[in-house]
Amino acid sequence: MEKLPANSFCLLACVLVLFLSSVLAVTDDPQDKQVYIVYMGSLPSRLEYSPMSHHVSILQEITGESSIDGRLVRSYKRSFNGFAARLSEPEREKIADMFRNTLQDHSAISYISNQEGKNTKRNLEVESDTIIGLIDTGIWPESESFSDKGFGPPPKKWKGVCSGGKNFTCNNKLIGARDYTREGTRDLDGHGSHTSSTAAGNAVAGASFFGIGNGTARGGVPAARIAAYKVCTSTECGSEAVLSAFDDAIADGVDLISVSIGGGGAARRYEEDTTAIGAFHAMAKGILTVNSAGNSGPKPTSVGSVAPWILTVGASTTNREFLTKVVIQNGKTLSGRSVNAFDLQGKNYPLVFQGSEAKGKILVSVYSFSSDVAVATITKDYKNYATISSRPLSALSPDDFDFLVSYVNSTKSAQGTVLKTEADFNQKAPKVASFSSRGPNTIAVDLLKPDITAPGVEILAAYSPLGSPTEDIDQRHVKYSVLSGTSMSCPHVTGVAAYIKTFHPDWSPAVIQSAIMTTAWSMNASDTGVASTEFAYGAGHVDPIAALNPGLIVLNHGTKLSVKVSPDVLFMKSVNEKQSFTVTVSGDNIDPNLPSSASLIWSDGTHNVRSPIVVYTDVPNDSI
């Protein structure tokens, strides 16, 4: 970072300039100016300080012009200090180095409700005063998941606005909306509605995708309020918009922030990561930020959200999976994956390979996932999870696909059919999804990321009727849809954090994060090597009920490792008392290519606080 002359900006303690790869900024400006973020840290405490005046004076000095019309894009002045401006390359060089920043959304029946029993505690009065801010693609306000039936007025602490654009109305459930895209806060994609309803949607009976997955869809804390901050269009999520959303959300009075967007697989230094910057200021105000880990797994070092003050979430499977059966004429039934809402009524059709005339037939193809003329498509499964198909489709396991190919080759009149998708019980769940981004953390190698894992595969939640469930050619419109990704697991944990906060409103973000992580339970990943260890799932799988009441023994796990804790007993006489201890790990003949795992558990006989321990000799590379 370039150091600025002290006499240039006497109030500027720290400046970071972030470059935005914005197509609009490039093509709309005839003088080849780009949009940059000038991040200036916390707001000065002096009453006479005016952020806007300071930002204008900086621009005037940089440009050498008294008028800055069209230059200042945004001024961050509510929760932290900085601005976004259109600058030429020479002007940029007067401030600091630049970095390229692109953000992606992380999408590829509520978890708390699945664990709830008749005796599960709820604190509805406090829950109703809890506000969750979601930074995403917006929201569909008319969805039943966001109805305010039974809700009273917004909490008095709420300082936000409803600025959703034309024909957009907030209510006592959806209490706030802001747009940073010029599209309005209405969700045109479906992603933001899906994540919002997962975190805090109302209980809606009979929710399904064309009858698939039929049941009651509800969020983690259905009595909580929602504030939507739209920063993403269908093509991009602007970094300067993300910072603006954090700036407003913090000042608006939200209790938690959920961000199901992030980098495209590469972790950035904290000072170059707009989500990390915004989350840091949120943390300073007592607001926990939950962020998706990314969908670049199972590649090692692919986790994108690595700041220690962010709760980073990986994705796991659930005990419900969607199966699409293929029945061939010889009576054999093969179970494939997809979310296929089309019903062929059990009618058999000829099975043909790609390259043959497919009209009126079922196409069997390794690579083609759809056909404009075929009745249906049967392909090989490369994803290990079900996705929605715009035409009848089933993706078979490699073994079943090879069996089908052999059958087609064995007869001149091979026939079969593809059935409508059914929900089935997944005995192997939960496992870390193959797409979920993995550690190790490349920015701070001693900090384990992701932090926690939660359901993120084949999640049914609210959707935008304007968003296609598959692609543009799919003209179907739905109120609820099925998505997979760490975008889906992130709001699950946001709901858990909000649930905890309703019982412990005085807990800091760090305490809530600790409660979630130390009460998680160990799990398995769907891969081997680094991709199957704590680098895949962090502290483990989230346990919402246990996280309400975390407590304090040391159990050593893992072969070839010796773990010594000193002292091995902690005596605490009062709440919030602090104690320190030292963990020493030693061992022989540890495989240098594989991490070794153990757990440290403090217990008082009732409560268990578990921390994962991962030992490795070097940061694994892509060849592992």
**Any bridge partners for residue 393, and if so which?**
377
Query: How far, in Å, CA of 205 to CA of 428, rounded?
Result: 27
Tokens read off for 220: 């983690």
Amino acid at 314: G
Question: Does residue 298 have a cis peptide bond before it, meaning omega lies within 30 degrees of 0?
Answer: yes
Name the residue with tokens 């339970």. Answer: 521
Query: How far, in Å, CA of 252 to CA of 159, rounded?
Result: 5
Q: Exactly one of 244, 258, 371, 487 is catalytic; name it.
A: 487
Q: Exactly one of 191, 194, 492, 541 is catalytic; name it.
A: 191
Strand boundaries in 102-183, DSSP class E? 104-105, 131-136, 174-179
Length of the chain: 624
State the DSSP code for 339. Answer: B
Active site residue 136: yes
Say if residues 376 and 418 touch (Cβ distance below 8 Å): yes
Query: How far, in Å, CA of 602 to CA of 519, rounded?
Result: 11
Report, in angstroms and rounded to the nearest whole number, the Rg of the chain calculated over CA atoms.
26
Tell me what percent of the chain is helix, strand and coil, each rounded to the nearest 5. Answer: 20, 25, 55
Q: How many CB atoms lie within 10 A of CB 314?
A: 33
Active site residue 607: no
3-state SS string for 468-482:
CCCCCCCCCCCCEEE
Name the residue with tokens 């300067």. Answer: 240
Q: How many CB atoms lie within 10 A of CB 344?
A: 17
55 three-state secondary structure: helix
Name the residue with tokens 């440290």. Answer: 600
Active site residue 557: no
Query: How far, in Å, CA of 163 to CA of 167, rounded?
Result: 11
Name the residue with tokens 């992603």. Answer: 191
Beta 72-76 vs 608-615: how paired, if at all?
Answer: unpaired
603 class by beta-carbon count within 10 Å (0-12 exposed, 13-18 middle, 19+ buried): middle
The helix or strand, by DSSP H or E, that contains position 525, with its residue range, turns out to be strand 524-525
Amino acid at 388: I
Tell me the catalytic residues: 136, 191, 487
